[in-house]
Structure 1
Amino acid sequence: MTISFEPIGYVENKVTEKKDTRWGEDISRLVINQELSRGLTGLDGFSHLIVLTYLNEAKFEPQRHLVRHPQGREELPMVGIFSQRAKDRPNPIGITAVEILSVEKNIVTVKGLDAIDGTPILDIKPYFPQFDCRGNAKTPEWVEVIMREYF
């Protein structure tokens, strides 16, 4: 089965190279295709949204990425790709909850998006705490280690 998507826009920011840390202060513009701009109506009533991206510069190599140390850090345990939020995956889809700074015409300005300049946007969805936040969630200790410098 083949599944295909058309991007609804692209990311515009100053990040030109892949990185694993310090995304929290990055400001990005989500440039939505003009013909879809009316679909942003009402988004300014939300403080956050979820961005789904196509990680077009990711390169999944099963021998290297299927099981690996998160962020290539040897001090962390070997875990499978589906236990990580790594960029090099079988289907290079990124998902990030971000803060909305503004919505103007076909541009949504956000803070904290972990995507580089030119990344295609597959979809955006408003952040609903009732759906998107689970208070009883748990993660392994190594997640705390990599998240200390992620945002």
Structure 2
Amino acid sequence: MAPDRSPALRPIGVVRSPLTDRAAAPKQGPEGGPDAWLELDDNLLPALRSIQTGDRLLLITWLHHADRDVLEVRPRGNPDNPLTGVFSTRSPDRPNPIGLHPVTVLAVDGARLLVSDLEALDGTPIVDLKAADASG
């Protein structure tokens, strides 16, 4: 029997942010996203080796408040914008609500990273982290 190759995500941590209200959160991190802590599972410490203050990372999250049935939106929630398919937007509402957030590491404290410009809500599950540049 062939191994199961279906997608199976497991959270590796959680976002700790002052943002708790989706309606009040900025649409993108550089538009007022606060500094936030990424609390990763302690057993992942080896995976954090070499991450330093100043590093640019791509944070991948599961947007757990998203509506997975939404297929069209008015970009940026603006009723004056034309109805647009979610695959050509950055809407959090989509069939698989994966969030992609470019962040900068401000501090490293064990299995916790303080990052800047994060628009994710408190309690958002973390799926993965990747180096933001091609050399990583």
Query: 5+ unaligned residues in a row in structure 1: which ranges?
Result: 132-151
| Shift in alpha-carbon separation, 1:25–1:116, aligned structure 2, 3 A | closer
| Alignment correspondent of 2:20 | 16
How many aligned positions are there? 127
Query: 1:24-60: CA deviations, max 9, x gaps?
Result: 3401100010000121110106521000001111112
| Alignment correspondent of 1:127 | 132
Contact 2:54/2:106, CA 8 A, preserved across alignment: no
| Shift in alpha-carbon separation, 1:25–1:90, aligned structure 2, 3 A | closer
Identity of aligned residues (%): 32
Is the deviation greater in 19-28 or in 33-42?
19-28
Post-superposition shift, 1:114? 1.8
**Comparing both structures, which one devotes a greater share of its residues to helix?**
1
| Alignment correspondent of 1:59 | 67
Query: 5+ unaligned residues in a row in structure 2: which ranges?
Result: none
TM-score, with length taken from structure 2: 0.84
User: What pairs up with 1:3-82 in 2 under 5 angstroms?
Assistant: 3-19=7-23, 21=26, 23=29, 24-44=32-52, 46-61=54-69, 65-82=70-87
Structure 1 runs (4+) deviating above 6 angstroms are none
TM-score, with length taken from structure 1: 0.76
| Shift in alpha-carbon separation, 1:14–1:45, aligned structure 2, 3 A | closer
CA-based RMSD of the aligned residues comes to 1.9
| Shift in alpha-carbon separation, 1:67–1:25, aligned structure 2, 3 A | closer
